[in-house]
Amino acid sequence: MIDRKIDKILIANRGEIACRVIRTCQRLGIETVAVYSDADRNSPHVYMADQAYHLGAAPAAQSYLDQEKILKAIKDSGAQAVHPGYGFLSENANFARLLEANGIILLGPSAESMELMGSKLAAKDTVKQYNIPLVPGTDQALKDIDEAVQVAKEIGFPLLIKASAGGGGKGMRIVANEAEIEEQVKLAVSEATSAFGDGSVFIEKYVEKPRHIEFQVLADLYGNTVYLFERECSIQRRHQKVVEEAPSAVLTPELRKQMGEAAVNVAKSCGYIGVGTVEFLLDAHLNFYFLEMNTRLQVEHPVTEMITGLDLVEMQIEVAKGRPLPFQQEDLAIHGHSIELRVYAEDHFNQFLPSISTLDTYQTPKMEGVRVDDGFRQGMEIPIYYDPMIAKLAVHAPTRQAAIKKMKKAIQNYHIEGIKHSLDFGTFVMDHPAFISGDFDTSFIQKYFDEAKYHELNAEKYEAAAAFVHWLGRK
């Protein structure tokens, strides 16, 4: 059995995920090393860690993406392992190889697994042997516009032009008819090249009324792989998640098992080790299709932790040490319901654009069954250089209805002033009949949310409350 010593970990990231990793390490008695840019010199993760190393200027290319600077910090600190968090270098195969070449443990999968799953086309080809359902479309990059037109005619409209590399909705375009193909392909190629340095794009059939369902997987070094159930991530803006919950309101036990086993097979197809996420699209008829695999810890992992009672960062560390999984699939069960709201510094009435300013007031809710993962404190400024997420607000309750109620109460007790933020949007979602019923898909924001609809729903809510108070007064 493999036995690796890990008593000091460097976190190659910033903000809430760095703080979250440090908390688990502190509980386990593992020393931590933080890295920071000029913009993050006074950030909480810097003070929480046992050691901290300055990387450079605020732009990520000069700090959190500079592999040589991070390698120097690892060596200078004496850390045996690196937790990459998410974003930045977390799915960078070259960084994984750099660490391996220097005898440093990455709390993540192999470089080979990253490369296979990092390319959507390579991933689709890899999972074919396991008969994983795939969305109809091309399995190779488009050669030219003529090929795009021919493929589009074969699979029908609407369709999606998608970048092979990367994620986060970049290089993704919906095409409604043949007249739009040439322009949308060019735009997708340009955006993919700019974002990922790879302009390869392919075509998929657009799944109408899709739900975004992802499965958490966990694999050790000895071939044991399990799924830790699903997360519903359908409420998105610009193809990026805003509200997540576990479990999904629409999966039956049979479908959950079928999708979970498919997720395990995806992980096995690339020899996956550690914590990862397999993403699926679920159509209106509950047919599911493999979308992609994220070879890292996901932003929304708290909801999985809340329904399973597991610490996924601890699981990453245990797997990296060489410990076998302490449970099998049949030992795992779902306990209650969890919902997470990403608290962004952004203006939801202005296309969810970032709101960069100072946190004049910042007070988090203190309630049982409520968890706040954040990396900011009152008086801090939101840096313009990075993702504008301030925190993740997660709740846990025995039922979905109780979790919705608890989330609304937690939002009421979360006080932020000085910037525009997404807390009010979270309340809108929790109050909306489509969300409450579970009858929604990835077009929730486009269908239901704008400033007028926000005020309309609030007016209806207040009118109902006033009528109830009036009724009480008559009794």
Active site residues: 292
Cβ-contact 356, 315 below 8 angstroms: no
| CA distances (Å), origin 3, targets 21, 221, 323, 324 | 22, 11, 7, 11
The one-letter amino acid at 6: I
CA–CA distance, 441 with 204 (Å, rounded to integer):
18
Residue with tokens 């999708």: 259
Q: How far is CA 205 from the centre of its chain?
A: 24
Reduced to 3 states (helix: H, G, I; strand: E, B; else coil), residue 26 is: helix
Sign of the CA dihedral with 311 first, then 214, 337, and 468 last: positive
Q: Which stretches within 128-228 are classed as H helix? A: 145-155, 181-196
Cβ-contact 5, 11 below 8 angstroms: no
| CA distances (Å), origin 195, targets 64, 106, 144, 199, 242 | 17, 25, 20, 9, 21
Cis peptide before 133 (omega within 30 of 0): no
First and final CA of the chain: distance in angstroms? Answer: 72
Cβ-contact 340, 302 below 8 angstroms: yes
Residue with tokens 């525009």: 420
CA–CA distance, 315 with 167 (Å, rounded to integer):
25
DSSP, res 399: S
